[in-house]
Amino acid sequence: MSLVLYYGSGWDSCYLHYSLNNGSSWTQVPGESMMITKTINTKHRWYRFDFNIESILKNDQCEILFCPNHNGIHWDNPPYGSTHAKDTNYCINLNSNSIQNHNAFSLVSGKLSMISSPMSYKPVFLVSDLDGTFVGNDSATSRLVKKWKHDLAPRGSVLVYNSGRSLDKFMDLQKEKNLPFPTALIGSVGTEVVWFSQEGKIEIDEEWNALLEGHGWNEKVVIEACDRLVEKLKGSCHWNPANEQNKYKKVISVKTECVEEAVRE
């Protein structure tokens, strides 16, 4: 039987120094290499380690002590006051009940958490709008982010935001709400697709742009049509700010009483 530990880190390689017998004996520093998982995340790489706990389950109480490190030089010790720590190491207390219900843990940013769905560690594909869905209720958002960070992301899950927000407006919201970075952003109501790499790079999907071009999009014609409408309905129609526009998305606002006339035009 094994106990799985997922560890989120910015390190390019990771080792786990550990003891399976209450600290009586330890692996040789730096420990055993952790396996990198196929997750896409701009802040953390996710590593996995499987503890073989078959031999220690016969004990009524047992502690696994461990500390991740980078080549034995840099150590990720638990923060002061951590509830899952013993001295300078992380600690998992094992007994038959806890192992039956929770045989997987995640460790990221100094927080050790039990993964709440132990029967299946399959990844999920989550696509969500932002305003009024992923965000809008701070308490619910906080719970969802915690679930994503400590449970779903370590499994290799994929997160996509599908929003009317542009990339710039998404980045503002991400900083404000401390949202997890997605694998991809479908932004500006589908007119831009942005990929986020594990190394933190942001890449515009030029193939999607080419597809839009191939459907006969003519930016000049659209701008001219909008300009004519703004001029005709002067005072009741105006261009929206520049940060709401892009090559494939043009936005004007029209007063309610003039909507039908604007549509006819």
168-214, pLDDT tens digit by residue? 999 999 999 999 999 999 999 999 999 998 666 899 999 999 999 88
* Structure confidence at residue 101 (pLDDT): 56
- The pLDDT, as a whole number, for residue 243 is 85
User: Which residue(s) pair with 32 in the sheet?
Assistant: 16
Residues 125-212, CATH architecture: 3-Layer(aba) Sandwich (3.40)
In the chain, % of residues over pLDDT 70: 88
Facing residues of 177 across strands? none
DSSP structural state of residue 148: I
Instruction: Tell me if 259 sits within 8 A of 265, measured CB to CB.
Output: no
Tell how far CA 57 is from the center of its chain: 34
Confidence band for 61, pLDDT divided at 50, 70 and 90: low
Residue 97 pLDDT > 60: no
pLDDT at 228: 95
Q: What is the pLDDT of residue 59?
A: 65
8 Å CB contact between 154 and 6 = yes
DSSP string covering 159-211: EEEE-SS-HHHHHHHHHHHTPPPPSEEEETTTTEEEEE-TTS-EEE-HHHHHH
Residue 229: its pLDDT value, please? 94
pLDDT at 90: 95
pLDDT value for 42: 46
Residues 61-72 have a mean pLDDT of 91
CATH fold of 2-114 reads: Immunoglobulin-like (2.60.40)
189-203 per-residue burial string, b: 16 or more CB within 10 A, e: under 16:
eebbbbebebeeeee
| Partner residues linked to 47 by β-bridges | 7, 36
Q: 251 vs 114, which has greater pLDDT?
A: 251
Q: Tell me which range, 60-69, 102-111, 216-225, is most confidently predicted by mean pLDDT.
A: 216-225
Q: What are the residue boundaries of the structural domains of the chain, listed by start? A: 2-114, 125-212, 218-264
Residues paired with residue 122 on neighbouring β-strands, in sequence order: none
- Per-residue pLDDT tens over the stretch 115-158: 865 545 678 899 999 999 999 999 999 999 988 988 888 877 89
Q: What is the structure's pLDDT at 152?
A: 86
Evaluate whether 214 touches 206 at the Cβ level (below 8 Å): no
